[in-house]
Amino acid sequence: MFIGSDNQFRNLYVMKTYKASESALEAVGDTTLKVDTAKNSMYLVYKDTEDNLTSDIIDLKNLLYVKSTKAADMARKLNSQSVTLNEDPISGQDYVLNVEVRNFVALGDDSTHIKFGAVHAVKGMTKSDFYKAMALNLAKNFSREVSPILNVSLNKYNSTGTTNTKVAVLVNGKMQNLAALTSTETYTSIIIDEVEQPWRRGVAQVEPVNFNTTCGTVLVDGNDVIWGTVEKEEGDPINNGKQIADMEWFYHGTRGDIYREATYPDNFDFKPLVDETKAYSTLDIHFAYVGPGVEVAKSERTITVVCADAAELNKLITAIKTATGVDAGAVS
């Protein structure tokens, strides 16, 4: 479910190319900065799908800050955890691996989904045999989910003697490579990875899978001892395209359809410009509006410009620096 809020007024513009003048605006997404001769005010002119749009006029004495954010800084890495044995499997002992998924189909930690993998150690079982058995059991349990939430894989030694080769066991809810999981392979750990969740613009926003893995205990010399070690791993990165697409959809309501298609079929059609497969850098121009006469209260608001081309956004950043002396910092 998409949940958005707007504490302060914000307009968002999807810029594709920066132009030196308003007369050069031709394609949708073309943007230029207009500054008065005395350099007391500035505003953006933006080529929209139908006509040129003018942003709020910013009185430079009420400019509060200009901030750039690189696309790489807004990327998120999928959660990933590895599991390794502390000692060789002890024959006759039951090994349990618990996976706790928080905020599962809900908004709080009260909704927690717990699943586990289990292995009964037998005489002669090696660590590699254990990892294979545990990964298969855990994968079978998570393969029953209505929507995939976690992937399971094994690390194994490759020809150079390192452990950087992953063998998938469960991918997006489907069992994998079962024939390849032979006893001749030497496995070194189990890897549990977050599955990127379904997304739909303005309806189902990007949600992380918050999970925590813990190892149970086994009996060693009369004592309960935790049998394994869980470590965080470097997960695959995902860009911010979907988050920016949702921002575009939501903030379109501040200057267009304030009900955001809730009045269908009498709504205003939304024509998205953000490509959710791309990564976007952003520029926030935060200022205050002060009205005439007795309207002296400062109403803070923000203009956000997003752009997939860092070089084009840097041109706008440079133009603002020239006009105001404020350097938001280049994006790369």
**For the segment 168-213, what is each residue's pLDDT rounded down to a tens digit?**
999 999 999 787 677 678 899 999 999 999 999 888 888 899 999 9
Residue 2 CA to residue 12 CA, distance in Å, equals: 18
- Least confident span in 124-128, 136-140, 157-161, 245-249: 157-161
Report CA-CA distances (Å) from 44 to 274, 303, 312: 19, 9, 15
> What's the whole-number mean pLDDT along residues 44-48?
95
Residue 110 has pLDDT above 80, yes or no: no
**pLDDT number for residue 55:** 94
What count of Cα atoms within 13 Å lies in the side-chain half-sphere of residue 293?
1
- Region 31-48 average pLDDT: 94
The one-letter code for the residue type at 4 is G
CA-to-CA distance for 143 and 328, rounded, in angstroms? 47
CB 61 within 8 A of CB 290: no
Looking at residue 59, what is its pLDDT? 94
Structure pTM? 0.85
Cα distance from N-terminal residue to C-terminal residue, the chain: 33
User: Any idea what DSSP says for residue 270?
Assistant: P
State mean pLDDT over 36-52: 92
Provide the token pair at 166.
Answer: 């992953």
Q: What is the pLDDT of residue 65?
A: 95
pLDDT bin (cut points 50, 70, 90) of residue 1 is very low
Mean pLDDT, rounded, of the chain? 90
Mean pLDDT confidence for 258-270? 77
242: tokens are 């979907």
Tokens, residue 80: 């990933």
Average pLDDT over residues 89-104: 93
Residues found in the chain: 332
The pLDDT value recorded for residue 75 is 95
Q: Hey, how many other C-beta atoms are within 10 angstroms of the C-beta on 328?
A: 21
Mean pLDDT to the nearest integer, 3-21: 85
Residue 165 has a pLDDT of 84
pLDDT, tens digit, for every residue of 142-175? 999 989 999 999 998 766 665 578 899 999 999 9
Give CA 287 to chain center in angstroms.
Answer: 28
Strands 237-238 and 281-289, sheet pairing = unpaired
For 245-260, what is the mean pLDDT? 84
Cα 167 from Cα 209, distance rounded (Å): 22
Would you give the DSSP letter of residue 204?
B
Band of residue 269 on the pLDDT scale cut at 50, 70, 90 = confident
